[in-house]
């Protein structure tokens, strides 16, 4: 599949919206979704690092688009397996996220991972 056909099929703006709208959708819903999924998704730190990578303006556009598309799928509750199904609701989200993170892993930098660890540490401290 060529990059162009991938973009038409998987990053269709009619489905996901143009990148600025996707970014705002992810920003507005990410932490609420992450709080619900943190105990179910065993690679939460990678997801948060991907979030920071996607929002980093230094990240190449195609990488940002890939991560934003996966993160939109994560934050939108209506998908292949509804997120409200306890225990299995995030399995499809996890698959999409793991695939996207695997494809662009070289672009998730130590600064993104450090920010993710700090954010998760702060979230954990806020729960106590």
- From the CA atom positions of the chain, what is the Rg in Å? 14
For 104-126, the pLDDT digits (tens) are 999 999 999 999 999 988 887 87
Q: Which of 9, 101, 17, 111 is nearest to 63 (CA)?
A: 101
Q: Which of 66, 34, 35, 40 is nearest to 53 (CA)?
A: 66
For 26-58, the pLDDT digits (tens) are 777 888 888 877 777 788 899 999 999 999 999
* Domain tally, the chain: 1
Confidence of residue 85 (pLDDT cuts 50, 70, 90): low
Q: How far apart are CA 17 and CA 79, in angstroms?
A: 16
Q: How far apart are CA 86 and CA 22, in angstroms?
A: 26
pTM (two decimals): 0.73
119 lies in which domain range? 3-127
Phi and psi of 98, rounded to 5°? -60, -40
Q: How far apart are CA 23 and CA 19, in angstroms?
A: 6
Q: Lowest mean pLDDT: which of 2-11, 17-26, 83-92?
A: 2-11
């Amino acid at each position: 599949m060529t990059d162009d056909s991938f973009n038409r099929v998987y990053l269709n703006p009619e489905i996901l919206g143009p990148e600025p709208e996707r970014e705002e959708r992810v920003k507005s819903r990410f932490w609420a979704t992450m709080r619900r999924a943190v105990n179910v998704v065993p690679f939460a730190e990678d997801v948060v690092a991907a979030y920071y990578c996607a929002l980093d303006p230094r990240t190449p556009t195609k990488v940002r688009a890939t991560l934003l598309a996966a993160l939109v799928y994560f934050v939108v509750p209506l998908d292949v397996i509804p997120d409200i199904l306890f225990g299995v609701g995030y399995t499809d989200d996890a698959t999409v996220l793991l695939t996207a993170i695997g494809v662009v892993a070289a672009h998730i930098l130590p600064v993104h991972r450090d920010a993710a660890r700090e954010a998760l540490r702060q979230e954990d401290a806020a729960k106590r």
